[in-house]
Structure 1
Amino acid sequence: MTAAVTPVARRSPWTHNVICGIVATAFYRMGAGLYMMTVLPSFILLVGGNNFDVGFAEGLQGLANLLSAMPAGYIADKWSRRACIRMGTCLTFLSAGCLLLAVIIAKPKDFVPFVLLCLALALQGICDGIINGPLAALMDDSCPAGRRSDVESMNASVGGVAASVGPLLGLIVFATTGNTWTTFSMKVVICVGIFLSLLAIIPCLLMHDKYALAESSEAVHLQKNLLESQRWRSEQSTCFGLVTVQRVCIVMFINQLILTIGAGMTVKFFPVFFKEETHLKPVLLQAVFGSLNLFAGLGNLLANRLSKKFGRLQVIICGYIAGITCTMLMGTVRSYYTVPAVMLPIFLTRCICMWSCTPLLGSIIADYTPKATRGRWKALSSVAVVGWSGSAAVGGWLIDHTGFGVTFIITACFQTCSIPIMCILLPLVAKESELLAAQSAESLTATEISMQAETS
């Protein structure tokens, strides 16, 4: 008599490193959400004097990220991801100290605190380059293929909820200090945010390479138990044979670079736009960004659920088409800039559609990146943030010379180039349901072989 065969339970993605990484994200996003997107651009504008200074300061952060990310990724692959994370946490203290000092001594159009702000952002760029690549790579090393969108979506959702708490705290501060953009109220908000974000160091220090998984976290096209089920995809190629499964991570990086360069020209200036053009009060602006992060967190979960049925790339393409369309609308409805009831829904829809797709993009990159080079590829993804911060200088120049409307239109046109690139990958990228089915089949076969050996 043969015993019934029970499939082996799926490996849980909620490992030690994954949980620590999510907790670190929550603390950092809560602190940064308090001031980074809402108060800091206006504060730099106050201290520096013009939009170019805002873009220049943000651009330094991107340049520092560029110079540090690749060496950090290489060291993480060859030496230790944990060591790179710890070096980054040490520099985080130095960055926080410079920013805190700049805020304390800041006055309108004051050169010294502006230099300190630039130094703090440059150090933060180095920290991002050292931590984000190795930390994200260690989380991917600790999560099995087929479950990465769950982890990426949960990480983004937790970060979104935490980031929504920050602006709500800022709302309270502004409400108690007169609901105006005073230097004092902005200083209080930034200082509180600095101390909250430093709490992220604790879970970062608890992460370790020894908790990483083995073959189950390897790239999809390198896992032996998945090769047979994905063989037909491995034999596919697109773009006249130039794009193959092995080159998915390269194409995804190019796509990510286009998206972030475009976003950098405008995203950093959204708070300034609503302050200068729409004339939103600080309390309302804090409420908008608080709700934005919360809705984006919920959008991450919805996008992940839809991707299980329709596929990750399919959901990403639809989300980006909707988001880019809203960016174009923000540039063409200039007669409604002073009507919050029109501009805010367009802005919220734009951000929610595009931000909700980011975890799915990250999960695809992780699924098609070999573990041996994952630190470097994650560092390259971090370098793509240079487009986010580096192109801010271009965005600041454009806004000063052409206005917000033209800059929004240029951003939308530039980001549209990413849509055909993602369409090229449709035949090559597997649905996660296919990966999980292949793993279940392999586990079932292994169980049957073991039980047959026992009965014989």
Structure 2
Amino acid sequence: MRNPNVRLALLYYVLVQAAQSLYSQNPLAALVEIIDGGDDAAVGVVTGAQGVANLLAAIPAGILADRYRRDFALRIAACVGICAAALSTYTLWYAKRQHEHDENEHNTLGQRAYVMLVLSYASWGVFNGSVSGPLEALFGDSVETGSRSFVYQLKSALRTAGNAIGPLISIVIFSVRGDVWRVDDLSLVMFCGLALTVCPIACLFFFSDEKSLGAESEAFGAADTDEITTPLVVEDEDEDEDEDEDAEAPRRCQSTDSMVSGLGSPATDTRPFKYRVIPYLVATSDMLTMLGSGMTIRFFALFFKNAAHMSPSAVQAVFVVVPLGISVCAMGAQRLAAMLGRCGVVILCRIAGVSLLVAMTVIDPTKNKVTLLVVYIARSWLMNCHSGLTKSLVNDFVLKRHRGFWNSLESINAFSWCGSAMLGGFLVRMYTYETTFLITAALQGLSIVPIFVLLRIVPAEVEGGVAAPAAEEDSD
């Protein structure tokens, strides 16, 4: 927590989530639906374009961060963010002006504004993809192995709390301006978010690779292998100092090869297979979760607007309570993980969250609105409070020099999330919101299976490192 990169990253996440909750979440979904004539599928297309752009930018950014410098990659991302903010500001101004110009030409003008929105939010996908891998890798490099679950849960809690700032601001704006779903009011909310993006983008210029940790932040078990955390050349004290340097050359080359060879291959990672497979199992579980979430998360606000007939300020009030509750639950989940283990907490939370989502499909949104909201809020808290635990698992078991690449793979999850959002929009159009919720519950239920496999693999965290599991101790 004393590391400057860690403190700056925590500040960045709060600011960027606050900005995105204003310009890229519920207000965007409502604006797109109005501009495109009430079609939920149009919301999915905007989200899908953002996800594709995120994926295309993330992998190169992660490789750049691993091969060169994380802070250099973040400075490039900041420049991309400046361009995205400028493009989105112009697009939003254009959409607002054209909507006011002549309602008789609303469909034609709406289509043009809609295409511009797709392009501008694709540029935000490029920005998010450019930031995610390098920043997460630098954050992982700046946190000591064995202490990650607390720091990552704190990051998750603060990041989620940032999502409450946007809805709070928008409640004030909607309440003052009549509390109805109008393009003018939605545009004003989004302009506030775009103005706020200046702060997190500025933060990206102040990260530094020199402030990251050394071997103490390396992956669990790396110290027991011939990894780059040990000297590339180890000389015996009894050797003659005049020994021919050519004799050391093969050893130098072998270490160099291990730095550039394939991810997870024996040449790069000689740790036990059960430790090397952990990131893959976590990534599989997260991908299934994101596939399910993408189908519904962009449509919950529209569900409350269209099916439950809630006002803008009422909908935004729900999205103030949700992130604040997730933040509190995240810290509680970290404490519970000390007793049950990280995987145990993830399994319990997901089982409960999936069950509550299924319950939402049988509640009448007009007759039992309060019950529906209570179930939705509880479900959101449980399904999102443990993300820091799974993130800490990945960084505990991925070697430092591969963290940029591995964290950029998060964009595959983002892509799957956005791709499923497109599918979710068409499912809502063809069937109902409730049908889409059931498909989401099925996918999120499947995501629990890989975590069950990890129960007997993942060792417990201890101060200053990671403890070996009991089964391994018995085998010794």
* TM-score normalised per structure 2: 0.83
Equivalent of 1:425, from 454, 459, 462?
454
Separation of aligned partners in 1, 2:111 and 2:308 = 29
Counterpart position of 2:90: 101
- Listed as ranges, the matches of 1:384-423 within 5 Å are 384-423=413-452
RMSD: 1.9
Q: By how many angstroms is 1:190 displaced?
A: 0.5
Deviates more, 1:185-194 or 1:382-391: 382-391
Q: By how many angstroms is 1:216 displaced?
A: 0.9
What amino acid is aligned across from residue 420 of structure 1 in structure 2? V
Q: By how many angstroms is 1:34 displaced?
A: 2.6
What amino acid is aligned across from residue 88 of structure 2 in structure 1? L
Separation of aligned partners in 2, 1:279 and 1:338 = 11
Counterpart position of 2:161: 161
Q: By how many angstroms is 1:14 displaced?
A: 3.2
Question: Cα–Cα, structure 1 residues 437 and 139, in superposed 2: closer, same or farther, change >3 Å?
Answer: closer
Equivalent of 1:37, from 15, 21, 25?
25
Q: Does 1:278 align with 2:308?
A: yes
SS at match of 2:160: helix
1:265/1:394 contact within 8 Å kept: yes
1:387-426 deviations in Å (ceiling 9; x for gaps): 2212110000000001101100011011111111110011
1:39/1:271 contact within 8 Å kept: no
- Listed as ranges, the matches of 1:320-399 within 5 Å are 320-333=350-363, 335-399=364-428
SS at match of 1:199: helix
2:168/2:320 contact within 8 Å kept: yes
Counterpart position of 2:260: none
Equivalent of 2:335, from 305, 323, 332?
305
Separation of aligned partners in 2, 1:280 and 1:256 = 32
Q: By how many angstroms is 1:331 displaced?
A: 2.2
What amino acid is aligned across from residue 80 of structure 1 in structure 2? R
Separation of aligned partners in 2, 1:81 and 1:114 = 35
1:195-254 deviations in Å (ceiling 9; x for gaps): 1132101222111111111111111121349x9xxxxxxxxxxxxxx9721111111111
Q: By how many angstroms is 1:126 displaced?
A: 0.9
Counterpart position of 1:9: none
Separation of aligned partners in 1, 2:405 and 2:361 = 37
Separation of aligned partners in 1, 2:114 and 2:289 = 29
Q: By how many angstroms is 1:328 displaced?
A: 1.3
Counterpart position of 2:70: 81
Separation of aligned partners in 2, 1:436 and 1:220 = 7
Separation of aligned partners in 2, 1:388 and 1:86 = 26
What amino acid is aligned across from residue 453 of structure 2 in structure 1? I
What amino acid is aligned across from residue 15 of structure 2 in structure 1? F
SS at match of 2:165: helix
Counterpart position of 1:17: 5
Equivalent of 1:294, from 324, 344, 353?
324
Q: By how many angstroms is 1:295 displaced?
A: 0.8
- Listed as ranges, the matches of 1:186-265 within 5 Å are 186-224=186-224, 244-265=274-295
Equivalent of 2:53, from 54, 57, 64?
64
Separation of aligned partners in 1, 2:327 and 2:423 = 29
Q: By how many angstroms is 1:436 displaced?
A: 4.3
1:130-162 deviations in Å (ceiling 9; x for gaps): 101110110000100111112111112222222
1:129/1:383 contact within 8 Å kept: no
Counterpart position of 2:124: 124
SS at match of 2:361: helix
SS at match of 2:213: coil
Deviates more, 1:347-356 or 1:216-225: 216-225
Q: By how many angstroms is 1:306 displaced?
A: 1.0
What amino acid is aligned across from residue 116 of structure 1 in structure 2? M
2:78/2:202 contact within 8 Å kept: no
Count of paired positions: 411
Counterpart position of 2:111: 111
Question: Cα–Cα, structure 1 residues 94 and 437, in superposed 2: closer, same or farther, change >3 Å?
Answer: closer
What amino acid is aligned across from residue 202 of structure 1 in structure 2? A
Separation of aligned partners in 1, 2:196 and 2:466 = 42
Question: Cα–Cα, structure 1 residues 48 and 367, in superposed 2: closer, same or farther, change >3 Å?
Answer: same
What amino acid is aligned across from residue 144 of structure 1 in structure 2? E
Flag as ranges the 4+ runs of structure 1 deviating above 4 A: 434-439
2:164/2:321 contact within 8 Å kept: yes
1:69/1:379 contact within 8 Å kept: yes
Q: Does 1:179 align with 2:170?
A: no
Separation of aligned partners in 1, 2:448 and 2:186 = 39
Separation of aligned partners in 1, 2:304 and 2:367 = 9
5+ residue gaps in structure 2?
100-105, 228-271, 469-476
Counterpart position of 1:137: 137
Separation of aligned partners in 1, 2:81 and 2:465 = 38
Counterpart position of 1:92: 81
Separation of aligned partners in 1, 2:145 and 2:352 = 29
Separation of aligned partners in 2, 1:182 and 1:34 = 15
Q: By how many angstroms is 1:338 displaced?
A: 4.7
Separation of aligned partners in 1, 2:386 and 2:130 = 25
Q: By how many angstroms is 1:332 displaced?
A: 3.0
1:28/1:198 contact within 8 Å kept: no
Separation of aligned partners in 1, 2:273 and 2:184 = 54
Separation of aligned partners in 1, 2:150 and 2:441 = 29
Separation of aligned partners in 2, 1:358 and 1:332 = 28
Deviates more, 1:94-103 or 1:315-324: 94-103
1:277-336 deviations in Å (ceiling 9; x for gaps): 011111111111011111111111111111122211111110111111111112233x34
What amino acid is aligned across from residue 82 of structure 1 in structure 2? D
* TM-score normalised per structure 1: 0.87
**Bigger CA radius of gyration:** 2
What amino acid is aligned across from residue 74 of structure 2 in structure 1? I
Q: By how many angstroms is 1:23 displaced?
A: 0.6
1:24/1:202 contact within 8 Å kept: no
Separation of aligned partners in 1, 2:354 and 2:153 = 21
Q: By how many angstroms is 1:65 displaced?
A: 1.1
